[in-house]
Amino acid sequence: MTSLMDSVFRNRAGDAPRAAQIGRGLEQPVSPRDAYVIARFIAFAALALVAWSFQDGATSQRLALLLVGAAIAQPALPLFGSDQDSYRLVQVISDVLTSAIAVFLAPAYFWLGVVGVASIVANFAVLTPMRRYVPVAICSVAAIGAAGALTGIDQFARAALLLAILAAGHGYMGARTRQSMGAARGDVLEAISAAGGFAYVCDLQTGRIVDVAGDVERVVGWDTDSWKLVDHRDLIHPDDLSGFWLDFDDAKVGEYADRTARFRRPDGTWVWIRDLTRVVTIAGRRSLRGFSIDVSSQQDGLARVENEAATDELTGLPNRRALLAELAVREHQVGHHLVLIDLNRFKEVNDTLGHDAGDELLEVVADRVSACLGPTDVLARLGGDEFAIIFDGELDEVHVAAEVERVAFEVERPVEVSGVVVTVSLSAGIVRAEQGASDPVTMLRHSDISMYAAKRTGVTSVLFDRALEAVTSRQAAIIGSLREALDSGDLCLHFQPIMDVGTGVMAGVEGLARWDHPDFGLLTPEAFLNTVLMSEQSGEFTRRMVLHGVAAASELVSAGIDVTVAVNLPVRVLEDPAFDRFVLESCDAHGVDTGRLVFEIAEQDIHDTVSITSAIDRVVQMGSTISVDDFGTGHATFERLRWGNVEQLKLGNEAIRDAVERSRDRAILKSVLGLAVELGYSVVAEGVETHEQLDLLRTFGCPLVQGYLFAPAMPIDAVIEFAAAQRGRGEAGRVSSVPPRPFD
């Protein structure tokens, strides 16, 4: 208490005297101008007139004079005691004195005096406690008795006795009345207390509580006196103050307020108080009359719900909603960055090791990213394997890109989940808050565009710019027309011949996707493949391409051309348990032997060797061949050679080109080729463009070649013509070191 008051006085030193005064409570000081005082003045003046009208000679003059004096004394009474209690006492003393003098002056009206005094004390009996009433009643009886004795009225002793009996009766009645009034008030207060509340009156001008009833201490922790003395602005939580505090100037009488705020308890904890109040006038002063209840449990529940709604359950990080809110806070600022992060290959972990492992991985990622960030940066999980970072403050792009690299480095370190060591990489889209594009929705959309650009191009991060948006709208147009293109056959396979180096004849073809787009012309996979594979229609696209491959195989067989047909597949399709059924049914429908089909999977696409091995086994059992595409561009090249059921390896364009140019690469190509052939793989060298390359490959014992030197990818009819022309040319058309042109 002392320390509280100290702090109040320290905080608002100038207000100290005011603070000290306010403790007196509800009772407004009685002023000479109060209506009540004026009414008494008028009443005494009127009585004086009545006394004057008695025409009783000197007696009525003296009485009238006395009553005029009493009237004049009324406005002076508050000077002897201005608070309600003191005024009441001064008033009753003055009234009894006036009555006693009146009796003394006009003994003929003796009984009137007795009745008057009796009614005065009756009023006092109801309003004041016994301990104040009793002396006043005794003095009144004594005064009247003395007045009677002095004037020699013979019945004065009996009259005084009667007055004493009346006073005692009034005293008893007053005590009873106060008790029952108190009990009624107690019932109401008990009800309010039971609801965890208390009632109060507050002076709006000072902002202080002037009267309070109920168990204040239980609710707010402060005892009643402290609660009245302290300036509540010092107790209300700063965040709640503006919503709670009513300004004197704004509050209109009759206005109702329902407000909630946190109040600081003496022990430093907070209690939520809901306050229902009305602006009223009490004794001429604008005041608040209302009651306060403790709503902490409801508010805490609300806060918990709000908190849960803003938190990602798995990682405890802010969720999408919270991120949007954080961005909204910065809506009118520029210079901060939003980074959208998406993990690559997360789905594989989830699918092969299970959801628990996936969750575990996400938690590790969340921890690692958090550890990279500064105290003002915000990390959120948007759902699935998507995270977002807000880098606060003005940073230049190079700095942010470096930060993202650091995050990527941490995330890409191997993680052990469910006893298996896995690695994931990430793709990030960075967007800087610029004038006119710093609202949450735009920022998120732009970061999404750049994140997909990063995924498409296989880099860690891409910074958003306007050109990217144009590319994206083109991608959107592509996706938009995909379905139609698949149905119309605008998007289909062209076939590139694969030549046998030894015999010089076409040994197979590889299907490569081509899109004859009505707006953009003939598109190669570079323009659409990643977008399509990332879209929801990726599965449909792949099935259609496989069907094109099967149809081509059937046409080639019909034309008497005995070759294999290769189709490129994303690993995730190969792993789909429904895939072999689909292939079998497609082959059945076209009367094609599954042994004609080769499925090419890119080496970089292979991560989890356990699940891929069983998928490969299923395909091999079906009679088809698995070819590992772009072999040597991924990691652990030789380790890959240990897979039992892979039959074919394809060496990428670069390996062949570099081998001609650099002796070191030539040595590598020679040893890889030698080892692969030794291990029994059929090897295809791709991207063969020159005779020099072909000669080198032949020297190194490469059995199969593919490239522009022989033919580009062509519609199936052109492939059939190509084969026919080759047959027609016989030996001369065969693959040789010095053909005039690979084909004409």
Task: Tell whether residue 524 is a contact of ligand C2E (CB under 6 A).
Answer: yes
Task: Tell whether residue 603 is a contact of ligand C2E (CB under 6 A).
Answer: no
Q: Could you report how far apart the first and last alpha carbons of the chain are, in Å?
A: 105
CA dist., res. 220 & res. 222, Å (int): 6
Segment lying near ligand C2E (by CB under 6 A), choices 269-277, 524-532, 582-590, 611-619: 524-532
> Among residues 148, 707, 733, 742, which is the contact residue for ligand C2E, using CB under 6 A?
707
> Among residues 708, 721, 729, 732, which is the contact residue for ligand C2E, using CB under 6 A?
708
Nearer to ligand C2E, 159 or 601 (CB): 601
Nearer to Ca ion, 377 or 630 (CB): 630
Alpha helices in 129-280 (DSSP H): 130-151, 156-194, 216-220, 224-229, 238-244
| Alpha-carbon distances, residue 382 vs 110, 311, 315, 340 (angstroms) | 95, 10, 11, 9
- The residues that bridge with 434 in the sheet, in sequence order, are none
| Alpha-carbon distances, residue 274 vs 199, 240, 243, 466 (angstroms) | 12, 12, 12, 51
Q: Minimum Å distance from CB 620 to ligand C2E?
A: 20
Buried b (16+ CB within 10 A) or exposed e, 603-633: bebbbbeebbeebbebbeebebbbbbbbbbe
**Of Ca ion, ligand C2E, none, which one does residue 454 interact with (CB within 5 to 8 Å by kind)?**
none
Task: Tell whether residue 525 is a contact of ligand C2E (CB under 6 A).
Answer: yes
SS3 66: helix
Nearer to ligand C2E, 452 or 464 (CB): 452
Task: Tell whether residue 742 is a contact of ligand C2E (CB under 6 A).
Answer: no
Pairing of β 425-432 and β 337-344: antiparallel
**Of Ca ion, ligand C2E, none, which one does residue 95 interact with (CB within 5 to 8 Å by kind)?**
none
CA dist., res. 510 & res. 600, Å (int): 9
**Of Ca ion, ligand C2E, none, which one does residue 512 interact with (CB within 5 to 8 Å by kind)?**
ligand C2E
- 83, exposed or middle or buried, with CB in 10 Å at 0-12, 13-18, 19+? middle
CA dist., res. 296 & res. 276, Å (int): 15
Which residues ranging from 504 to 523 are in contact with ligand C2E (CB under 6 A)? Answer: 511-513
* Cβ atoms of 631 and 656 closer than 8 Å: no
H or E element at residue 494: strand 491-500
> Among residues 312, 326, 576, 629, which is the contact residue for ligand C2E, using CB under 6 A?
629
Task: Tell whether residue 571 is a contact of ligand C2E (CB under 6 A).
Answer: no
Task: Tell whether residue 713 is a contact of ligand C2E (CB under 6 A).
Answer: yes
CA dist., res. 739 & res. 732, Å (int): 7
Q: Minimum Å distance from CB 561 to Ca ion?
A: 20
By CB under 6 A, the count of residues binding ligand C2E is 24
Q: Minimum Å distance from CB 344 to Ca ion?
A: 20
**Of ligand C2E, Ca ion, none, which one does residue 360 interact with (CB within 5 to 8 Å by kind)?**
none
Nearer to ligand C2E, 423 or 524 (CB): 524
> Among residues 496, 594, 682, 726, which is the contact residue for ligand C2E, using CB under 6 A?
496
* Cβ atoms of 543 and 507 closer than 8 Å: no
Nearer to Ca ion, 159 or 601 (CB): 601
Q: Minimum Å distance from CB 492 to ligand C2E?
A: 9
CA dist., res. 494 & res. 717, Å (int): 10
Binding site residues, Ca ion, CB under 5 A: 568, 600, 629-630, 686
Task: Tell whether residue 661 is a contact of ligand C2E (CB under 6 A).
Answer: no
Give contact residues for ligand C2E (rule: CB under 6 A).
496, 511-513, 524-526, 529, 545, 568-570, 600, 602, 629-630, 653, 686-689, 707-708, 713
